[in-house]
């Protein structure tokens, strides 16, 4: 079989792109030097729009190995504000990365994706993709090989441009009964801690910080409420780390090569949008390839990445300023509708125009009042 498309990188986004392409009748081969299940440090949460894509791909989620979450809660030194996802958005999903990967592998096999696990890709050219020392001809090549994409380099894409300073992310799972059906984001001047419920007796903790990032136990101690919740909890995994940050490479298409997921640019992991963004890109890419119009993918890719990238910049800018951060949280507490609408826009369930001027004005009044009271 000569594939129509070779996807370099068999992580969740690469497999999603493969499944989406097979659903449109393309012959697809996925190659990865690793073997399933493939793990990667991440917050282990899939936002609602990503869950919708999994459903469209026919991925069956075992409810005993995952847990839904219904909104986001911000916590900062005793101050808390929360919002549910809009009803039209549905729910998010907390799930261990290896388990999600197994589910995607099974679905890929069901729809007829050919996989070459444990075989390194060593080059990309107009003649095809070189896998384990042999050239595999194809019409389309997709780079789904992550932030340090070699496909991006081989195909001559320009270097990525980082829009914010890079940060360190640490992840560890703990045996603890989830105390909420929200994802919690705990704030501190030095960084953030994100809590994602992943099973009925386990939570995933991700900590993000800059150069001051220390060992996981020390970082958790920065967040009093989280530290209290985890007191006596047994760690169920080792600590894993990765680099987080937003980047943009401009063009994600060059000749017959397209990039998807982190290979095509990234958003800071604090947004929780990494997997969902990649899944949405995968659907868009498959549709563009079916129409033999990669330019369409370029346009839509830029559109769907715009809001998450801006949200990442806003969250980090506000988060680094303690006084401003607390004023914003106080104002959101008083104007809870604003937080819900922002969450809807962030998850692509609502248009930015859904945030009416009257809601913005109400938020601004509370923000100013809080500032006046603090003086």
Q: What is the full DSSP assignment across 178-201?
A: -S-SSEEEEEETTEEEEEEEEETT
Chain centroid offset of residue 320 CA? 21
For the cut 80, the answer to whether the pLDDT of residue 165 exceeds it is: no
For the cut 60, the answer to whether the pLDDT of residue 372 exceeds it is: no
Through-space distance between the first and last CA atoms of the chain, rounded to whole angstroms: 71
Q: For residue 302, what are the CA distances in angstroms to 50, 207, 252?
A: 17, 28, 9
Three-class SS of residue 96?
coil
Q: What are phi and psi of 330, to 5 degrees?
A: -60, -45
Query: What whole-number distance in Å separates Cα of residue 362 and Cα of residue 367?
Result: 9
Question: Contact at 8 Å (CB) between 107 and 22?
Answer: no
Q: Which residue has the higher pLDDT, 139 or 164?
A: 139
Model pLDDT for residues 310-357, shown as the tens digit of each residue: 898 899 899 888 999 999 999 998 888 899 999 999 998 999 888 888
**Which residues lie closer than 8 Å to 173 by C-beta, 6 or more apart?**
44, 96, 198, 202, 203, 204, 205, 235, 236, 237
Helix axes 12-23, 97-111, angle to 10 degrees: 20
Identify the structural domains of the chain with CATH numbers, from first to last. Answer: 5-39+97-163+248-312 (3.50.50.60), 167-244 (3.30.9.100), 321-374 (no CATH)
Query: How many Cβ atoms are within 10 Å of 217's Cβ, its own excluded?
Result: 12
Query: What whole-number distance in Å separates Cα of residue 279 and Cα of residue 277?
Result: 5
Q: How confident is the model at residue 161 (pLDDT cuts 50, 70, 90)?
A: low
pTM: 0.94
């Amino acid at each position: 079989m000569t594939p129509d498309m070779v996807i370099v990188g068999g992580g969740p986004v690469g497999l999603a792109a493969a499944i989406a392409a097979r659903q449109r009748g393309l012959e697809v081969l996925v190659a990865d030097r690793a073997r399933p299940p493939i793990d990667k440090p991440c917050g282990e949460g899939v936002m609602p729009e990503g869950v919708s894509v999994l459903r469209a791909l026919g991925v069956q989620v075992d409810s005993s190995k995952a847990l839904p979450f219904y909104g986001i809660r911000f916590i900062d030194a005793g101050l808390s504000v929360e919002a549910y996802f809009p009803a039209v958005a549905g729910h998010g999903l907390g799930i261990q990365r290896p388990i999600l990967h197994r589910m995607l592998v099974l679905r890929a096999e069901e729809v007829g994706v050919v996989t070459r696990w444990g075989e390194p890709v060593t080059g990309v050219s107009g003649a095809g993709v070189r896998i384990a020392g042999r050239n595999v001809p194809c019409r389309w090549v997709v780079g789904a090989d992550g932030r340090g994409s070699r496909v991006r380099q081989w195909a001559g894409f320009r270097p990525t441009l980082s829009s914010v300073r890079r940060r360190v992310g640490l992840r560890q799972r703990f045996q603890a009964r989830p105390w909420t059906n929200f994802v919690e984001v705990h704030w501190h001047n030095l960084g953030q801690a994100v809590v994602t419920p992943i099973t009925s007796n386990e939570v995933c903790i991700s900590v993000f910080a800059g150069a001051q990032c220390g060992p996981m136990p020390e970082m958790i101690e920065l967040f009093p409420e989280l530290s209290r919740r985890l007191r006596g909890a047994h760690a169920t995994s080792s600590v894993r780390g990765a680099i987080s940050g937003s980047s943009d490479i401009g063009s994600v298409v060059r000749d017959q090569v397209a990039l998807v997921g982190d290979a095509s640019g990234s958003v800071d992991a604090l947004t929780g949008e990494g997997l969902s963004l990649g899944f949405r890109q995968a659907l868009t890419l498959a549709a563009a390839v079916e129409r033999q119009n990669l330019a369409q993918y370029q346009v839509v890719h830029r559109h769907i990445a715009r809001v998450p990238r801006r949200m990442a910049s806003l969250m980090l800018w506000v988060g680094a300023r303690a006084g401003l951060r607390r004023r914003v949280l106080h104002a959101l507490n008083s104007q809870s509708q604003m937080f819900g609408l922002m969450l809807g826009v962030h998850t692509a369930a609502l248009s930015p125009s859904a945030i009416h001027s009257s809601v913005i004005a109400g938020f601004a009044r509370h923000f100013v009042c809080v500032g006046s009271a603090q003086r």
